[in-house]
Amino acid sequence: MRRTFRSTVMLVVLSMVVTACGTRLSEDDRELVIAGLTGGGGGGGIVAPSEGVVTDGGETTDGTTSTDGGDTTGTTGGSTAGTAGTTTGGTAGTAGTTTGGTDGGTGGTTGQAGTDTRAAPPGGNGGATDVGVTETEIVIYNVVDVGGVIQGLFEDARDATQAYWAYFSSTEGTIYGRQIKYQFRDAGMSTQNNRSHYLEACQNAFAAVGSMSAFEQGAAGPIKDCEKGPIPDIRTAAVSPEIQTLPTVISTDAMRPGQVPLSEWTYYKEVVGDEGVKKAGYLWINNATTSFQTQQNRDATTKHLGYTWVEEIPIGLSETNYASIIQQLRSSDVQLVAFQGDASQAIRLGEAMREQNWYPQLFGLQSNTYGQKLLDGMRDKAEELVSIYSVAQTGALVEEIQSNQEMQLYAEWLQRVKPGAKPTGLGLYAWASMKLFVDAVKAVGPNLTRAALVEELRKVNDFTANGLLPPQKIGEQIATDCIIMLRIEGGQFVRAEPGNDYRCRPEPGFL
């Protein structure tokens, strides 16, 4: 089993030459990028192109302005696709046009029967066909929690969305003559911020792509009641019932109220046993979204797997002293602790356990904690603490990047927009959201409308984003019940179950 994602990993420095035909890495350079991401390299990050990044970020909860967001438009990048490259969103070959080179490379494939969708058809593309669409551009918004009480909560979703936009802009550049204009807005962990940004999107954007916020329900009204037509919202994940049930919301992490993936909970039961799940404790960061998700999980595990939740403890967003929480779990002899929150909070909870010298059999975390932050927080900690952490990952593993071409592409372009950043589980779904959007826009054709885009998205099923995700029933928005269970060993994530591929159930648990 390969174990290559090291806590000490650093990225190699490569020089990028930007030309009118886009930027291209040699095969040797690509191997250096992969080596750096998997523990074989050293040095700093790849230098990102400087064009088009404006630091006029969105409003945060305390009224300040972020300095890492804002509108980004940038250059169109390469306009010459390779003979077997990604002219229509197909998969590039080993040395293909991942960066807009002039030949497709060995083994490159194309989508949609090789049709080139970059140029406008004879007679033009119809010009302004809907909100945010002109003859030359398509405006999209990306609304993500970056500022707020928990700084950088979902910044991975912003970074990955922007990375795919940069990749597309530099390789293909246009769809039927239109560039994609990407605009970031900081949701700032605020219901009001979500509302105001989507009211703005109603008037100015064709669609929202890659968005994710713990307070997303503020966007529900503007999405469905927009007087110019409901807004297509292709999200990284929809986490509230108000957003999940809207007909124009599509998430790459497909989900609807009343359905709960149970693969991870089945695994936990195997580890702690029948008696262990009868002494389970659930901790969650207390807001409307996580409270809803927590209730769904508790109800489904009780109904389908025989769990008994002897402790159910909400944690305030600003709370940092977890000593009393651990005392409560200890007094109830909790054997399994499930937690819904950020990696930084999971680390502090572990520290509180260590300080009281009390450990459950298992400390179960969700996929948003899969990333370097958790590994860094566990560095040099006692094995008795580290060994109880269990992470449920719902997409491909960064540690297995050598065998996943789309992961390599994501990693490569992430370095362009944010040098030093590493792929994360959340980022996979954001990258996939942009890929889904681009593919659907191509499929709709030049006469691009919001309604036509949603209709096209509803046709999509078994979507994997070229191997980044287990098959997602996008059109039906039925949750895919597939998981990879991870543990931390030697400062890195390693597979606990299964040995390869995914652990899957035929369908989620329905309430």
pLDDT tens-digit readout, 142-164: 999 999 988 999 999 999 999 99
Q: Which residues contact 500 (CB under 8 A, 6 or more apart)?
A: none
CA 505 to chain centre: 22
Return d(Cα 107, Cα 297) in angstroms, integer.
44
Flag residues of the chain having pLDDT under 50: 1-113
pLDDT in tens, 74-96: 333 333 333 333 333 333 333 33
Which residue matches tokens 């040395």?
A: 95
Structure tokens at 471: 């098959």
Distance CA 163, CA 156 (A): 10
Please tell me the predicted confidence (pLDDT) of residue 114.
53
In whole angstroms, give the CA distance from residue 385 to residue 351: 8
Number of residues that this document lists for the chain? 511
Which is nearest to 210 in space by CA: 364, 434, 1, 390?
Answer: 434
How many C-beta atoms lie closer than 10 Å to residue 334's C-beta? 23
What is the pLDDT, as a whole number, of residue 318?
A: 85
Element (H, E) at 11: none
Q: By the 8 A CB rule, do 210 and 434 touch? A: yes
Question: How is the chain split into domains, by residue range?
Answer: 262-393+481-510
CA distance 349 to 357: 12
Which CATH number among 3.40.50.720, 3.40.50.620, 3.40.50.2300, 3.40.640.10 corresponds to the domain 262-393+481-510?
3.40.50.2300
| Cβ contact 399:30 at 8 Å | no
Q: Which DSSP string do the residues of 182-204 spell out, in sequence order?
A: EEEEE-TT-HHHHHHHHHHHHHH
Where in 287-348 does DSSP place strands (E)?
A: 309-315, 336-340
Q: In whole angstroms, give the CA distance from residue 380 to residue 375.
A: 10
In the prediction, which pLDDT does 8 show? 27
